[in-house]
Amino acid sequence: MTYQETVEYLYNSTPVFEKIGVGAYKEGLGTSLALDQHLCHPHRHYPTIHVGGTNGKGSVSHTIASILQASGYKVGLYTSPHLVDFRERIKVDGECCSEDFVVSFVEQHRNFFEPLHPSFFELTTAMAFDYFAKSEVDVAVIEVGLGGRLDCTNIITPELSIITNISYDHTQLLGSTLAQIASEKAGIIKPGVPVVIGENDIETRPVFEQKAKEMHSPILFAEDSKEVDACFANESGGMTYLTRHDGIIEGDLGGEYQEKNTNTVLTAIRVLAKRFTKINGISICHGIGNVVSNTGLMGRWQRLRVCPTVVCDTGHNAGGWRYLSEQLKKQECRQMHIVFGMVDDKDISTVMDMLPRDATYYFTKASSKRAISESEVQRIGLSKGLIGSTYHTVKEAFSAAMKNAFKEDFIFVGGSSYVVADFLAEYSE
């Protein structure tokens, strides 16, 4: 098979969460453990860092990987979902795994894994662990897919576990209260392995403290350590941080929500520096300042042009939009245009309550079977006082926004990772 045929095979022969949602989620680690044994436990050949949470885990994973790269380590990075190319999920030093590896992995192992009927994510995780071993990485940063306790990445025993935050998402799988969701996320805490909690509240903190106590795991709450004293947007589109230990750091990731993520990262780095001794102040600053070029991260308050300004962001749930809505309010422009769509397992009503009422909307749907129809998004929007037209595709919606926008205007594309994925796929062509 060619690379494209192989990717199509993966999508069509395994349950894919991006396509069918809850139906692709498999409880239990049995399949992952079987794949791991078949591949001779590749993740045991390198130390790992495990990153979970509701929001921010992608930014935190990429930033930690960037700092480790800047410190001179060969770094594997496993994240999801991808935005343009499947291979974005599996990177070493910011370079996607090769197309040949994806093809050869499937051809070499399909006779074993086909009878197991693994999910797309189970198979992709096994592929990533194998690739990192073959690449002889010094360390790998592993992002949790969904939840934690039963996530297939949870077969690893990391050097450090990180839980960024807890908010309402995937409640049909993880629980209907923050405490229940936190309990599932806390499942990545391993015996004796330190854990950093990015954000906590009165409901979630006791859950983390109890789990850490049971596991005899040292626990650090990033909000207690307060590594970032203040931050503000800089002219390049990123954020400038005034830090407790590392002075002024110029970060290249945009979005005010990055203050929380960076505080989590710096707290985690204090722990990791004891194991990875090449980390120093220079590599921390360089890593945070070059996340995009070092790791290829996309879609985090990503500014693609000016006159008019175009920004996209993968924030896709109420927790993420709590920050995005405040940031949108602060944009100085003649008129704001918002290309917007969501998928069917998100709380679209709560998100739309946070959207600006004075923007022009371009309601659309991503090329995902889980996407809410553009007409339904418009209907809900109208009930919230949001005015706009419908478009069958993200490409059509963005083209209309560009046609209507003056150079002093601001265009935002988002609401779903899949909307951003469709947008970036077209924009990069």
CATH number at residue 47: 3.40.1190.10
Taking the chain, what is the end-to-end CA distance rounded to the nearest angstrom? 25
Q: Note the pLDDT of residue 256.
A: 86
The phi, psi pair for 85, rounded to 5°, reads: -130, 135
Give pLDDT tens digits for 44-98.
999 999 999 988 999 999 999 999 999 999 999 999 989 999 999 999 999 999 9
The per-residue pLDDT for 27 is 65
Residue 319, amino acid: G
Distance CA 294, CA 187 (A): 30
One domain, residues 204 and 322: no
3-class DSSP state for residue 390?
strand
pLDDT digits (tens, 9 = 90+) for 125-156: 999 999 999 999 999 999 999 888 999 999 99
Examine the fold and report which residue of 295, 328, 360 is the final residue of a domain before the chain moves on: 295
The pLDDT value given to residue 429: 47
Domain count, the chain: 2
- pLDDT of 420 reads 95
**Residue 184 pLDDT greater than 50, yes or no:** yes
**How confident is the model at residue 172, as a pLDDT?**
60
Please say whether the beta carbons of 47 and 275 come within 8 A.
yes
Q: What is the largest CA-CA distance in the chain?
A: 59
pLDDT at 21 over 80: no
pLDDT at 169: 65
Percent of the chain exceeding pLDDT 90 equals 81
Q: Select the more confidently predicted residue: 170 or 340.
A: 340
- Residue 185 and residue 244 share a domain: yes
More confident residue, 344 or 130: 130
Segment 282-309 shows an average pLDDT of 95
Q: Rounded mean pLDDT of 249-278?
A: 95
Helix (H) or strand (E) holding 162: strand 160-163
- For residues 306 and 288, membership in a common domain is answered with no
Chain mean pLDDT for the chain: 92
- Exposed (0-12), middle (13-18) or buried (19+): which is 284, by Cβ within 10 Å? buried
Is the confidence at residue 14, as pLDDT, over 80? no
In this model, does residue 285 exceed pLDDT 90? yes
Has residue 22 got a pLDDT over 60?
A: no
- What integer is the mean pLDDT of 271-290? 97
Whether residues 257 and 188 fall in one domain: yes
Q: Same structural domain for residues 375 and 287?
A: no
Residue 130 contacts by C-beta under 8 Å, 6 or more apart in sequence?
39, 42, 105
Question: Same structural domain for residues 289 and 308?
Answer: no
Reported as a single tens digit per residue, the pLDDT across 217-246 is: 999 999 998 999 999 988 888 999 999 999
| C-alpha to C-alpha distances, 259 to 278, 283, 288, 326, nearest whole angstrom | 25, 19, 12, 14
Residues 122 and 33 in one domain: yes
Domain termination site, one of 260, 295, 330:
295
Strand order across the beta sheet in which 228-233 lies: 228-233, 239-243, 248-251
3 state DSSP class of 336: strand
Domain limit, last residue, from 270, 295, 320: 295
In this prediction, residue 255 has a pLDDT band, given cuts at 50, 70 and 90, of confident
Q: Are 165 and 259 found together in one domain? A: yes
What pLDDT does residue 352 have?
95
CA distance 252 to 362: 28
Q: What is the pLDDT of residue 12?
A: 85
| pLDDT higher than 60, residue 20 | no
Does 248 lie in the same domain as 389?
Answer: no
What is the DSSP code string of 246-305?
Answer: S-EEEE---STTHHHHHHHHHHHHHHHTTTSTT--HHHHHHHHHTHHHHH----SSEEEE
CATH at 351 = 3.90.190.20
What are the distances in angstroms from CA 118 to CA 16, 25, 82?
A: 10, 10, 19
Contact indicator for 305, 423 with CB cutoff of 8 Å: no
- Percent of the chain exceeding pLDDT 70 equals 95
d(CA 336, CA 360): 6
Are residues 85 and 129 located together in one domain of the fold?
yes
Q: Are residues 266 and 312 in the same domain?
A: no
Determine the structural domain holding residue 33 and report its residue range. Answer: 3-295
Say which residue, 142 or 317, is predicted with more confidence. 142
Q: What is the pLDDT of residues 391-400, one digit of tens each?
A: 999 999 999 9
> Within this chain, do residues 388 and 367 fall inside the same structural domain, yes or no?
yes
pLDDT band at residue 317 under the 50/70/90 scheme: confident
